[in-house]
A and B are shown apart, each in its own frame.
Chain A
Amino acid sequence: MIDEETQEIFRQETEALIESLQECLLQLNSTPDDMELVTQVFRDLHTLKGTGAMFGFARLAEFIHDFEAAFEQVRSGNAVVTPDLIAVSLKAYDLIVALLEGEEPPTEQDAELKAALGAVTSGGAAPAAAAAAGDAAEEAPAAEGELEGWKLRFKLPPEFMEIGGNPVAILEELMEIGGPDTKVEALLDGLPALAELKPNELHTAWEMILPPSADEGDIRDVFMFHEDSMELELTAIRGAAPVVEAAPVEAEAVPVDAEAAPAEAVKTEAPKAEAKKSGGKKSGSANVQMRVSAERLDDIMDRVGELVIAEARLSDLAQKLNDPNLTEVVEDIQRLALGLRDTTMAIRLTPMSSITGRFQRLAHDLAGKTGKDFDFVIEGEETELDKTVIEKLSDPLVHILRNAVDHGLEDNDTRVAAGKPARGTVRLKASYSGADVLISVQDDGKGLDPEFIFNRAVDRGMISADANLSRNEIFHLLMAPGFSTAEQVTDLSGRGVGTDVVKSTVEALRGSVEIESELGQGSSFTLRLPLTLAIIDGLLLQVGEERYTVPLAAVEGIVEEPEEIRDGTESTTTVELREKLISIMRLREIFETGGTRADHPKVVLVRTGDQQIGLAVDRIIGSYQTVIKQLSPMHSRLNVFSGATILGDGDVALIVDVAQLVKAEGLDHDNKEQAA
């Protein structure tokens, strides 16, 4: 029934809602009295229900309806937030996610969860109601003026069918809400004369009488997406009881429309904007969002890239012509082009916080399943990464986090015995480092035992017993396919599947994984990812007759090449610079460039990981807007180059990936430690 495209639109629509819902539920766990959160949960559910119904997810909409009802109980003070409620809600949340993803979990689950939701909210109601009896009596006068039914009169817009609407479906939906006692009458007074009748226009209006069992919110929900262009009158038919008193109750019952629908007979004029706003993310922030396809963004990015290249050529030319008028205009254009570049790139960036919600949930579940008490701390949520990269990181991080809790943290008794605080800490941290982004998961658990890992790898036949491995290399065995350190395979982790996924995913993103651990003190897994932006600030260098670019963000300084290493021809050497011993890579030798040597060669100091490395080059040309062009499969396996760029004069220059070059030359830690 639902085609893929619709499903995709729907999925995107609901993504933010789902994240918000989960986040609120988890926050409620620690601050159960926060009514604002309860309201937010309620709103998210309500909007999800409406959207779900519109896209034909009947089962979803029906289930959420009951979920929503449970939170309505909390909202109106008839129930309180308990750990049980949160636990059930999270399960309900999982079911929603499953349904959204098109899975078909057994239908009994719906009923079970509904029952559970009902139980936790009505069970809690007794004490709450007793305690707040006074309030309740005031706020919710039990029997408002006898509701005898609803009178509904509506006229859909004439173009309703042309835009793909189906009035019959609407009627059926209303009949379902009302049940067999519903009365329907078509109002034909809007029908034009036969000669003027356009068969594809809708002229009929309807009047319905629905029984009192029908829920006002349900009725309004049917029209949720048509409200702004239609006429809708919904009137409560009441007995003799005073109508005035009922007003606040009504307003409570239909929160989304609260402002637009003052209780009694209402003509809904344009509540759509209102409903959207209140149903949106947290406190309806004024941040208007727009969804654009990634393809279109890439197009813009490409154009901006071209613009930056053209701008560079223009600057080149202006410099040669040296006309002050021209220079002025060129400087203006330069400023505009850079501004445009920055804005465009920012569009693709998403903060880490967009995915941390699911990790919080995971931590919550893990604590429950393992019985280990721990604090889950997230730092650097504001760190921004390309959206596609962030999405790809989610799975690897889940694996690492699971392992940290399952294998890293000891149980509370063991911790106390070891003189550690009973509560463990797991830290998820994101930060920038030079041209890289670091995302690490640290735990203060028992740490990794190199000997144990080594023996396990030997047992598995992964390495030979006499292999000479550095500590670091031993840690990296953890991520080799088929390795599992768990003594017992648990439900959570230790299936030996997945940890190698961490490595392959990160490497596919041109990143690397760093593992550090002290036995008894804890471990940390760090994902190091290059900022894969399409345009970077580069430093253009000359080596022989060739030009290369390095990311400027990684450059920490430029010095004259010390006399004592000028004549060497080894590809790497070390020299004391500023009272520190630094490894130098001679690009001339590594790249076999040939050409004449400059009289005053330079050393560019770059940071990669936690070490500083010097690149010996002939000349520094200057900083340069570098538009990264991907290398074709023919060269992309050469990972010492992260791409190529087009210079102002139209030539192509390669972009050096310093971290990979360091690795290729054997100057990274693995090899260093071994040598030491």
Chain B
Amino acid sequence: MTLELVTASEDDLKDMVAFEMGGELLVVPTRILREVLEPPKLTRVPLAGPYSAGLINVRGVVLPVTDLRPLFEMEQKPFDIDTRVLVLELALEEGTMTIGVIAEKVHAVLALDPESIQKVPSVGTRWPQGAIKGIGRWKDRFVNLIDVEKIAETYLGAVPTDESLH
């Protein structure tokens, strides 16, 4: 799996944006990053479940924002001076979806050494099934390659509602 992963996204690995949440360092390819926003005013969506942070207006376009911390079982600390929203464009099976992801702090753009990428142990991590593509090393820290597409498809599309009972 490691090899497959590395060949599939070797270019991506050279150009990753790192951000922090709950003390963990996460990376996504800059290829899917559209912009980084100061936390805008969020409109909460009632009944939308814990992963929905709400809706924002980005120059006339309404975008959903997700807070992945509940999914990763991290504490939701209030927005502060470092908080940002990463606007990501995801290529999902049903088409592209533009979504904001809350980041507690955005670090830097960095390149990862493909050799350093390892599989995620199937037990003993906080990451839910499929959420992480692999774990790499950058300086002396672990960086987690999160699979936002997979997360969006698996965890964000299925909003728990009463309607599903009907």
Contacts and interface: CB of A to CB of B under 8 A. Distances in A.
B47 A652 contact: no
Nearest to B60: A306
15 contacts: A590-B46, A590-B47, A631-B64, A632-B64, A634-B152, A634-B156, A637-B157, A637-B161, A644-B55, A646-B60, A651-B57, A652-B55, A652-B56, A653-B43, A654-B55
B103 to A, nearest CB: 17
Interface of B: 41, 43-48, 52, 54-57, 60-64, 66, 92, 94, 97-99, 152, 156-159, 161-163, 166
Given A651-B43, A654-B45, A632 B60 contact: no
A670 to B, nearest CB: 9
B43 A634 contact: no
A243 interface: no
B62 A591 contact: no
B44 A546 contact: yes
A617 to B, nearest CB: 14
Contacts of B157: 633-634, 637
B46 A591 contact: yes
A57 interface: no
A392 interface: no
Interface in A553-598: 590-593
A590 B54 CA distance: 17
Question: Could you tell me the dominant secondary structure of chain A's interface residues?
Answer: mixed
A658 to B, nearest CB: 15
A638 B97 contact: no
A235 to B, nearest CB: 62
B99 A634 contact: yes
Interface string A72-91: 00000000000000000000
B57 to A, nearest CB: 5
Contact of B64 (A306, A592, A634): A634
List the 9 shortest-distance A-B pairs measured between CB atoms, nearest first: A591-B46, A652-B43, A629-B62, A634-B64, A652-B55, A632-B64, A644-B62, A634-B156, A637-B159
A397 to B, nearest CB: 24
Nearest to A665: B162
Contacts of B45: 635, 638, 641, 654
Contacts of B55: 631, 635, 644, 652, 654
Contact of A650 (B57, B64, B92, B99): B57
Contact of A593 (B46, B98, B158): B46
A664 B162 contact: yes
A634 B54 CA distance: 10
Given A632-B63, A652-B43, A654-B55, 10 more contacts: A592-B46, A629-B62, A633-B94, A634-B52, A635-B55, A638-B47, A638-B161, A644-B43, A650-B41, A654-B45
Nearest to B47: A638
Given A633-B94, A644-B43, A651-B41, A638 B60 contact: no
Contacts of B161: 637-640, 664
Interface string A589-616: 0111100000000000000000000000
A663 interface: yes
